[in-house]
Structure 1
Amino acid sequence: MGFLIFLFWAAITLGVAIAAAWGFRAVAAAVTRGEMRRALRNAPLTASFGMLVIFIYLVVAILAPLIAPFPERTVVGSQFIPWSAEHWLGTDALGRDMFSRMIYGTRNTVGIAFATTALAFLIGSVFGLLAATVGGWLDQGLSRLVDVMMAIPSLIFALLLLTIFGTSILTLILVIAVIDSTRVFRLARAVTEGVVVMDYIEAARLRGEGLGYLITREILPNVTAPLVAEFGLRFCFVFLSISALSFLGLGIQPPTADWGSMVRENATLITFGDITPLLPAGAIALLTVAVNFVVDWQLYRASGLKE
């Protein structure tokens, strides 16, 4: 009987998700023009669902102070109050409203992950493009440094650096960005090496074009598609890394709301059959799946394949 109930609610959830994705695709196509409109009309429902989830997360992150019924750090009741009309998801171990902290956690966790991913891509892409374009000792030196850094497991490396330099938000962003920039460097260098050997690059060099012109005008437009796709995938890994570090106590520090630390702080409720600690984990998983849906669609578009 329980399994049938589960299947029923799963079917209901799937139907709502499909309807929401279809409606979002129709609205998005109606308010856009040109190539973007055609792309959205042909987007699969999975990509539409992913874009819808990302849009909802962005709205919640931006409007968090207006949506949340209570402040982020304020104690509003007793410890572990059950779900009620006043506290939709109950309260945590200190008596703070869980629903409000989930909303503020969207801004903190997603915002920090996006800033970290952007910094990692800036570092990795610049040095990867330079290494492949210049070559020689610069390429060898940067590549060997990246090999050494990648030989150390990323989570252990991050734990070590955060233990040494502290656990402030700025330090967290810098540490994760530097570690993840090694992966971006390898990709940027690999795709650039396939471009620098082309005839039009050699022709530009013979014309006397400088390094800046070669990278920005000749190389970068031809490597943008795989880098954009990698940005989405790398965002997921950074997002999960920050949540894992927060769960271990070395990520975003209390009292700042963060989904990883919220799971750790309220994990004891699971032993009493309360699923509240699983909700931040579910929010992490949902955003990861949504981003991957959109990335898969972008990779398909960039590949030039046709149905």
Structure 2
Amino acid sequence: GWLDQILPRAVDVLMSIPSLIFALVLLTIFGSSITSLIVIIALLDSTRVFRLSRAVGLNVAVMEYVEVARLRGEGPKWIIAKEILPNVMPPLVAEFGLRFCFVFLTVAALSFLGVGIQPPTADWGSMVRENATLITYGDVTPLLPAGAIALLTVSVNFVVDWFLHATSGLRDEK
């Protein structure tokens, strides 16, 4: 319908603007409070989740088992809950893992640039910024928060991979 035509165009407009620059502009306008940071990053990341959810949902909605459920007389809520949702969850869970990591990287980048989380609240990006000059003296202190970000990213992806494997129904052969 008309909503299905308008929403993707609005998402396309938001996705055409580079995320970091858009976040910088919005944080400059609305201030760099934690609330505005959360809302801005949620708005920017929701565009990617919307595109993936819509694409996967449309692909599953035309499958034969969904049509069989319609022909059996099942209602739209039942079809969504029992046929479509279980089949779109794996790609959405994988996307959640990626988005989670990108949110941390975005917050760290914005804090490194001075418009993210403000002191005295601790943040890995601001820790790197405050200690960046120590790299010229051979000190590894600025690399520790960067390493923490990398470790968090790898850990979250391991957990997401484990969850996807555990819920896939596949069993390890011995």
TM-score normalised by structure 1 residue count: 0.51
- Residues 1-307 of structure 1: matches in 2 within 5 Å? 136-205=1-70, 207=73, 209-210=75-76, 212-299=77-164, 302=168
Give distance in 1, aligned partners of 2:152 and 2:38.
Answer: 20
Contact 1:233/1:295 (CA < 8 Å) preserved in 2?
no
Give distance in 2, aligned partners of 1:304 and 1:192.
Answer: 23
Flag the structure with larger Rg: 1
Structure 1 residues 4-62: Cα deviation after superposition (integer angstroms, max 9, x where no partner):
xxxxxxxxxxxxxxxxxxxxxxxxxxxxxxxxxxxxxxxxxxxxxxxxxxxxxxxxxxx
Contact 1:259/1:280 (CA < 8 Å) preserved in 2?
yes
* Secondary structure of 2:116's aligned partner: coil
- 1:226 CA displacement: 1.1
TM-score normalised by structure 2 residue count: 0.87
Give distance in 2, aligned partners of 1:255 and 1:181.
Answer: 29
Give distance in 1, aligned partners of 2:113 and 2:119.
Answer: 12
| Closer, same or farther: CA 215–288 of 1 in aligned 2, 3 Å | same
Q: Partner amino acid for 1:257?
A: A
Q: How many residues align?
A: 171
Q: Percent identity, aligned pairs only? A: 73
| Closer, same or farther: CA 150–306 of 1 in aligned 2, 3 Å | farther
Q: Partner amino acid for 1:137?
A: W
- 1:159 CA displacement: 0.7
After superposition, the CA RMSD in angstroms is: 2.2
Give distance in 2, aligned partners of 1:152 and 1:303.
Answer: 40
- 1:221 CA displacement: 1.4
- The farther-off stretch of 297-306 and 239-248 is 297-306
Give distance in 2, aligned partners of 1:296 and 1:153.
Answer: 29
* Secondary structure of 2:115's aligned partner: coil
5+ residue gaps, structure 2, are none
* Secondary structure of 1:253's aligned partner: coil
- 1:299 CA displacement: 5.0
- 1:289 CA displacement: 1.8
